[in-house]
Structure 1
Amino acid sequence: MEKIQVEGPYNFDLVLDRLSIDPLNQVDHVGRSVKVPMLLNCTPVVGKVKAIGTTEAPEFLIEGTDGPFKEKAAERLSEIFQWNLPLETIHQHFQNTDLKPIFDKHYGTPIVLDFDPYGCLLKCIIHQQLNLSFAHTLTERFVKAFGFEKEGTWFYPLPERVAELTVEDLRELQFSGRKAEYVIGIAREATSGNLSFEQLKNLSDDEIYDKLIKLRGVGPWTVQNFLMFGLGRPNLFPFADIGIQNALKKLFQLEAKPTLHEMENFSKSWNPYLSYASLYLWRSIE
């Protein structure tokens, strides 16, 4: 067990609220903890992160990561939970914008990454053009059918496993034929080495966009969400996202969803933290 302290503000209870939206995440609200599945050097490791501090003075206990992967697990957990990012700087930036009310209400909410970049990209593909409830149901079916479990925690199926599937295998779970092709195709790209998630981490947003947009089934919305929740990039604003459009309509009391021109005007003052503007807008309607 390891105890760590991070710079506040950091509201872990709001983190758990958002993580609990996904039924695959093992969240314990009462115990203020979550289990995190990690593949470290191809070895499955389950780390448990438990909050024992406050929003202003965040402190955590880390369990389950002792052993040969302790250092690598600590590094990955810090990356997932964005513990090295000073949220107070971002909060102060938005105090002079029209998003001040929702940043005050959701004070100290970080962007938390999906637990695995590969799983994040697959989830983005599965979630395309589905309502959130069925998107999570379909993802859960996929993971529990072809992934694996350790210590009560589910891991996304490995690329090698998905690459061997047929479209019919996924159609049985209620995937569309085309979406099944996309998921299998991405797994095959990862298995062949054409798509390396470790290499993606070292590329710029534009370079990642140019690489991923060539994959079947990957559009701008998918790339933007992957950059935000797969890699933690801070300055993405998915203009086509319906949730963000609805949040802006509510916030600014618009009669209709905002146009692209209106959204561009709204977002000018939010740069260079557009990803946080996106997150807090989503939070405002969740």
Structure 2
Amino acid sequence: MWEEKVSVKGPYHFDSALLRLARDPLHIINEEERSIKIPIYKEAPEIADIQAIGTVNEPLFLVRGKNKDTKHLIMERISTIFQWDLPLGDIHSHFSKTALKEVFEQHKGTPIVLEFDLYPALIRPIIHQQVNTSFAISLTDQFVRTFGYEIEGVPFFPDPKTVSGLRPDQLKDLRFSRRKAEYLIDLSKLLSKGELNLKNLAEKTDEEVIKELTAIRGIGPWTAQSFLLFGLGRKNLFPMADVGLQNALKKLHKLDRKPTVKDMEAYTKEWYPYLSYASLYLWRSIE
């Protein structure tokens, strides 16, 4: 066993992040203890535990694991997932001069938390396409619990090789549409054959990633942007086709209709280069 204490520059509202993550039953969270168990995806998967012991303005965390040989890798991965190296105070100051000032005050210090691995970061938005949020969460939960695995009660997504070997009917039994089932299986075949490498995408620009991913059947701009935001942690993403963002802007600006793309382009000009945080805080404003 090992334990590491980590200090992060405030503000950092871990409890707000946990509240958002707790909507997904695949996340093993103890809100009273302010902790979450993280699946670490690697050749020999393992679990890490994060507990907040500090405050929003003076964040402090305990990270625990079992294998001392992988401690450095786990600490690096967790720091990336929870964006501990990004000073949220600078982002807050930026938005204090914009139309999102009050939204950022209300949710001050809420971080973007990345998906725990790149493969889930790409297949989750495919599962979420064109269905409401509660059904999408249920569908993802069934998919993982049926075809994935658990370690110490923590669910892991199945790997691409496992999914590539499924038949569409197996996913249809979980209430997937046949088309969506085919998207997941075909994508997983590309990954398992090495024809698509998600880690290599991290070296490419946003535009290059979107171009490469949208060439794949079943992946449109919204899915590619979601992968960039929650998979690769890109800072300047605003998925304009996202219904939640459209509704949040409608509420913010007291519109009698959803904003047009031209409207959104005008609104977002003052939010560069942190559009991803504008996206997160607008989502938080209607959740």
The TM-score with structure 2 as length reference comes to 0.98
Q: Which residue of 2 aligns with 1:7?
A: 9
Alignment of 1:73-88 (within 5 A): 73-88=74-89
SS in 1 for 2:125: helix
CA distance in 2, matches of 1:237, 1:11: 22
CA distance in 1, matches of 2:38, 2:218: 28
Q: Which residue of 1 aligns with 2:41?
A: 39
1:254 alignment partner AA: L
Alignment of 1:271-286 (within 5 A): 271-286=272-287
Alignment of 1:2-151 (within 5 A): 2-40=4-42, 42-151=43-152
Q: Deviations over 1:95-134 (max 9, x none)?
A: 1100000000000011100111101111010000010000
1:196 alignment partner AA: N
Q: Which residue of 2 aligns with 1:195?
A: 196
1:195 alignment partner AA: L
CA distance in 1, matches of 2:44, 2:213: 26
> Is the CA contact (8 Å cut-off) linking 1:65 and 1:73 kept in structure 2?
no
CA distance in 2, matches of 1:64, 1:256: 50
CA distance in 2, matches of 1:132, 1:170: 19
Change (3 A) 1:65 1:82: farther
SS in 1 for 2:68: coil
Q: Which runs of 4+ in 1 moved over 2 A?
A: none
2:229 alignment partner AA: M
The TM-score with structure 1 as length reference comes to 0.98
> Is the CA contact (8 Å cut-off) linking 1:9 and 1:107 kept in structure 2?
yes
CA distance in 1, matches of 2:9, 2:270: 25
Q: Deviations over 1:160-209 (max 9, x none)?
A: 10010000110110000000000001111110101112211121111111
CA distance in 1, matches of 2:98, 2:207: 27
Q: How much identity, in percent, do the aligned residues show?
A: 52
1:11 alignment partner AA: H
CA distance in 2, matches of 1:279, 1:166: 35
CA distance in 1, matches of 2:284, 2:141: 22
SS in 1 for 2:69: coil
Q: Deviations over 1:208-264 (max 9, x none)?
A: 111111111000000111100011100000111100010011111111111111111
Alignment of 1:240-279 (within 5 A): 240-279=241-280
CA distance in 1, matches of 2:41, 2:70: 10
2:248 alignment partner AA: A
1:45 alignment partner AA: E
CA distance in 1, matches of 2:281, 2:261: 19
Structure 1: 5+ residue runs without aligned partners?
none
